[in-house]
Structure 1
Amino acid sequence: MPPHHLPFDTTYTSPYREAMERGHARLLFGPALEAGFRDAQYLTNLAWMRWVSWIGIATYLAFVAIDLATIPLQASRWTAAIRLLLIVPTLVVALAVSYRTASRAVLTPVVFLTATVVGCGTVGIVVLSLALGAPVPYEGTLLLPFVIHLLLGLPWRQALGSNLIALAMFVVLVPLVQPDRMILTYQLSYMLLANVLGAWGGYALEHRARASFLTAGLLSELAERDGLTGIHNRRSFNDHLERVWKQAAREGGNVGLALIDVDHFKQFNDRHGHGEGDAALRAVADVLGAHANRPLDLAARYGGEEFALIWYDPQPDQLHAMGERVRRDIAALELHAADARIDPITVSAGVAVLRPRDIPRHTDLLRAADIALYQAKHGGRDRVVVLSHPAPGELRFPGTPVS
């Protein structure tokens, strides 16, 4: 293991803070943060997308009646067909997909396809009516960039792509059927302006949403992380232990817990100073974080020089070896300060494993690990003691732990 030079300067780096410092002008985070942002946006955007779909269905159905009542049949039958056979069914499909939880992964592509079909279908109505000599007002197409960018909840790039496809169709086809050059100039100018304004508004909206996501994530992280070491704090540890305990109770699994205490830490501080003591704690936390490497595992600073490791559903016969690896990795730390080597630090570890279906209270797991830690410290320190599935009678604390 590489040496740690004191003062230790590799504390936990927040991905939220890093993203804030880099900025997000490109509207893109790293893979993990991007997935979190998409999940956070999903429920917010879902309600808007459904309302827009319902309103869109009602609007296009209403315009079927308006078309049939106001424009000649040779044109209205085509415009009605596009609305009834293309646009409305596409909106209905998107709405149905939005109500299926299992379809969550495909909802964004479906909404993108729906927006593109609606946009191109609306442009098609304008082009066909012009070609048949019964022009309908094109102003409805001006609303599409704003609806797609601001109300559907599409990622900005996909909303932009959908709008550009409809705009390209408009720019290519409308000049072929619009004989009045002045009207054409105004139509093209307004369509371009609507797309520019819609794209700018959509960009600003997503940029602000990303900034809010980073701020909320950082605040949540600050509430859950220990300020000195960067790993989880006592509050986060308690919440996580309760959650995994309930999950193990449902699944019939085990929960393992290691309480780890740095040996003779007061003497270490007295000898080397509190700055080096803090750096040593950060080095220990760094090691422990590497041993909480599964999704439901967690490393936390329990208080002072005491740490905790939660292991979800470990094999009981492997716990002693797991604890020993932690102890050896900490003992192997090479700590340096002012070009002088510091004596290795050691830890005592009390490890316990319980099955929630056998003992319903997660506080019993804490008590068992605390008893094991007491035994490790009274047994000479720099050692690991394991209590595996102790009976309730074995959870009586033997006495006050040594400091």
Structure 2
Amino acid sequence: MVTGGRVPRPAASERLTIKASAIVKLPHLEWVNQDSPYLRQHQQGFRGLRFDDELEQTFKRYHANVFLRRMRWALLVATLLAMLFVLLDAINMPDPLRGQVLTLRLGVIQPLLLLAWVATYQRSLRDHLQWVGGLVALLSGLAVAGIIGLARYHSFALPYEGIILVTVFFYFLTGLRFTTAVLCGWLTLLAYLAVELSVGLAGELLLSNVLFLTLANIIGSVGCYSLEYATRQNFLAHGLLQDLAEKDFLTGLLNRRAFTERAELSWRQAQREKQALGVVMMDVDFFKRYNDHYGHAAGDEALRQVSRVIGEHARRPLDCAARYGGEEFVGIWYGLTEEQLLTIMENIRAGIEALALSHVGSDAANVVTLSLGMAYVTPQTHQSLEDALRLADVALYLAKEQGRNRVVAKKQAS
């Protein structure tokens, strides 16, 4: 049952944060719950640099966070370098070429870089930074190709290697993922080729320039693919380590420590927003008898199936369910009416019974069943999560006393 002690929050050293350059070693895979999406993805592989849809969305957020600082610094450095080229062009280029080139540098490249840098500080754009960065990289590459074309048109000897620098820059330094970087790189190459053909560059020199720019794109594509592949490996390792730290090995639900941490967050938010919570304690009926009769392997499988039913009813962001120890489970549901919560609890109870797992030693039914005690509370400043858990424990005791395989609810004292 529930004790009054608070489960400690993880120490800072136990929290998992991954730097872009860090290599995360995979844990022993036999320690990980076999239903882990990270484990399934690791076993399936990802040579196409693509995860299953739900995991892919999680990876995109992970990638954006890991490479956010790199993107900010890259854009800042690019802005400073672009200003240096403005000064060089202002000194070296003749009129009217100077004015045309400075218009592209100051009217297109510099504003784009600054806007992209500002966008990295906007939380609302965090999920769209790949496309923001990719668009800026592509337009900057096209602008540089345009500058080369203008210099050729005015017979000014401007080294074309600048476009190679731009290509290498957004392959490796801006934090663009493989697909975005490849689109930018090869479209910039095509734009450069079109510009040179339009101004009539000599065939042999054009062939040499395009060859080197093509090689730069090939090297960039391979390097960017390898970088993203390694980042995805780190993401899976990070996820597997989180599963080990937060998930119960047998059932795949949260463990007791992780539940307490997440439930505390829901509790504080409910206090701020004056929302109701359902705090629920659950216990598999006569489970010791089940283990004694059917064996521990069957008992483990029964717990896995029971936990799967419970987990299916706790999928909203502020809901969570956990294995509390042995055959005990605990859950918290946020912002629902008492009637809605009782319906969910009854669905869980009925879902366990519908598993039809034979249990000849039960006095409650001839199949595995679940008793549930629910505390329906609106958290007050003088109350704690432990108070609600104790109330749920009292309700669970009443459910068992009344014959098990039922839901009993209690409200907080007014």
Give the drift of 1:359: 4.4
Q: Distance in 2 between the 1:277 and 1:153 partners?
A: 48
Q: Distance in 2 between the 1:305 and 1:357 partners?
A: 30
Q: Distance in 1 between the 2:375 and 2:299 partners?
A: 28
Q: Distance in 1 between the 2:198 and 2:36 partners?
A: 56
1:81 aligns with 2:81: no
**Does the 8 Å CA contact 1:323/1:384 hold for their aligned counterparts?**
yes
1:36 aligns with 2:58: yes
**Does the 8 Å CA contact 2:391/2:410 hold for their aligned counterparts?**
yes
Q: Counterpart in 1 of 2:371?
A: 348
**Does the 8 Å CA contact 2:64/2:127 hold for their aligned counterparts?**
no
Q: Against the structure 1 CA distance between its residues 60 and 273, is the aligned structure 2 distance closer, same or farther, given a 3 Å change threshold?
A: closer
Q: Distance in 2 between the 1:274 and 1:150 partners?
A: 53
Tell me which of 272, 295, 302 is aligned to 1:280.
302
Q: Counterpart in 1 of 2:159?
A: 137
Q: Distance in 2 between the 1:60 and 1:293 partners?
A: 48
1:357 aligns with 2:386: no
* Secondary structure at the counterpart of residue 317 of structure 2: coil
CA RMSD in angstroms comes to 2.1
- Give the aligned residue type for 1:117: L
1:375 aligns with 2:409: no
**Does the 8 Å CA contact 1:145/1:199 hold for their aligned counterparts?**
no
Q: Counterpart in 1 of 2:389?
A: 366
Provide the TM-score with structure 1 as the length reference.
0.87
Q: Could you give the per-residue CA deviations for residues 96-144 of structure 1, whole angstroms, max 9, x where no partner exists?
A: 3223333334433222221111101111111211121112011111112
Q: Counterpart in 2 of 1:313?
A: 335
Q: Counterpart in 1 of 2:271?
A: 249
Which consecutive unaligned segments of at least 5 residues does structure 1 have? Answer: 1-10, 392-403
Q: Counterpart in 1 of 2:130?
A: 108
Q: Against the structure 1 CA distance between its residues 179 and 237, is the aligned structure 2 distance closer, same or farther, given a 3 Å change threshold?
A: closer
1:264 aligns with 2:286: yes
Q: Distance in 2 between the 1:72 and 1:175 partners?
A: 23
Give the drift of 1:250: 1.0
* Secondary structure at the counterpart of residue 73 of structure 1: coil
Give the drift of 1:42: 1.6
Q: Counterpart in 2 of 1:397?
A: none
Q: Could you give the per-residue CA deviations for residues 284-314 of structure 1, whole angstroms, max 9, x where no partner exists?
A: 1122112223222222111111111211122
Q: Against the structure 1 CA distance between its residues 49 and 283, is the aligned structure 2 distance closer, same or farther, given a 3 Å change threshold?
A: closer
**Does the 8 Å CA contact 2:358/2:368 hold for their aligned counterparts?**
no
Give the drift of 1:168: 0.2
Q: Counterpart in 1 of 2:195?
A: 173
- Give the aligned residue type for 1:243: L
Q: Against the structure 1 CA distance between its residues 335 and 106, is the aligned structure 2 distance closer, same or farther, given a 3 Å change threshold?
A: closer
Q: Against the structure 1 CA distance between its residues 75 and 199, is the aligned structure 2 distance closer, same or farther, given a 3 Å change threshold?
A: same
Q: Distance in 1 between the 2:100 and 2:342 partners?
A: 76
**Does the 8 Å CA contact 1:319/1:386 hold for their aligned counterparts?**
no
Q: Distance in 1 between the 2:387 and 2:125 partners?
A: 41
Q: Distance in 1 between the 2:265 and 2:314 partners?
A: 16
Q: Against the structure 1 CA distance between its residues 360 and 44, is the aligned structure 2 distance closer, same or farther, given a 3 Å change threshold?
A: same
- Give the aligned residue type for 1:95: W
Give the drift of 1:73: 2.4
Give the drift of 1:271: 1.6
Give the drift of 1:217: 0.7
Q: Against the structure 1 CA distance between its residues 269 and 97, is the aligned structure 2 distance closer, same or farther, given a 3 Å change threshold?
A: closer
Q: Could you give the per-residue CA deviations for residues 234-254 of structure 1, whole angstroms, max 9, x where no partner exists?
A: 122211211111110111011
Give the drift of 1:318: 4.2
Q: Against the structure 1 CA distance between its residues 180 and 208, is the aligned structure 2 distance closer, same or farther, given a 3 Å change threshold?
A: same
* Secondary structure at the counterpart of residue 248 of structure 2: coil
Give the drift of 1:387: 0.8
Q: Against the structure 1 CA distance between its residues 64 and 298, is the aligned structure 2 distance closer, same or farther, given a 3 Å change threshold?
A: closer
- Give the aligned residue type for 1:355: T
Give the drift of 1:326: 2.3
Give the drift of 1:368: 0.4
Q: Counterpart in 1 of 2:346?
A: 324
Q: Distance in 2 between the 1:179 and 1:245 partners?
A: 69
Give the drift of 1:213: 0.6
Q: Could you give the per-residue CA deviations for residues 186-218 of structure 1, whole angstroms, max 9, x where no partner exists?
A: 211111111111111111111111110111011
Q: Counterpart in 1 of 2:178?
A: 156
- Give the aligned residue type for 2:284: V
Q: Distance in 1 between the 2:307 and 2:160 partners?
A: 64
- Give the aligned residue type for 2:315: N
Q: Could you give the per-residue CA deviations for residues 32-84 of structure 1, whole angstroms, max 9, x where no partner exists?
A: 21221121122332222222222222222222222232233243332222212
Q: Against the structure 1 CA distance between its residues 294 and 110, is the aligned structure 2 distance closer, same or farther, given a 3 Å change threshold?
A: closer
Q: Against the structure 1 CA distance between its residues 128 and 318, is the aligned structure 2 distance closer, same or farther, given a 3 Å change threshold?
A: closer
Corresponding residue pairs, total: 377
**Does the 8 Å CA contact 2:253/2:322 hold for their aligned counterparts?**
yes
Identity %: 37
Provide the TM-score with structure 2 as the length reference.
0.85
Q: Counterpart in 1 of 2:22?
A: none
**Does the 8 Å CA contact 2:309/2:348 hold for their aligned counterparts?**
yes
Greater alpha carbon shift after TM alignment, 76-85 vs 213-222: 76-85
Q: Distance in 2 between the 1:327 and 1:143 partners?
A: 64
Give the drift of 1:176: 4.1
- Give the aligned residue type for 1:16: Y
* Secondary structure at the counterpart of residue 95 of structure 1: helix
Spell out the pairing of 1:192-207 with structure 2 (5 A cutoff): 192-207=214-229
Give the drift of 1:154: 1.9
**Does the 8 Å CA contact 2:60/2:127 hold for their aligned counterparts?**
no
Q: Counterpart in 2 of 1:384?
A: 407
Give the drift of 1:151: 1.3
Greater alpha carbon shift after TM alignment, 129-138 vs 228-237: 228-237
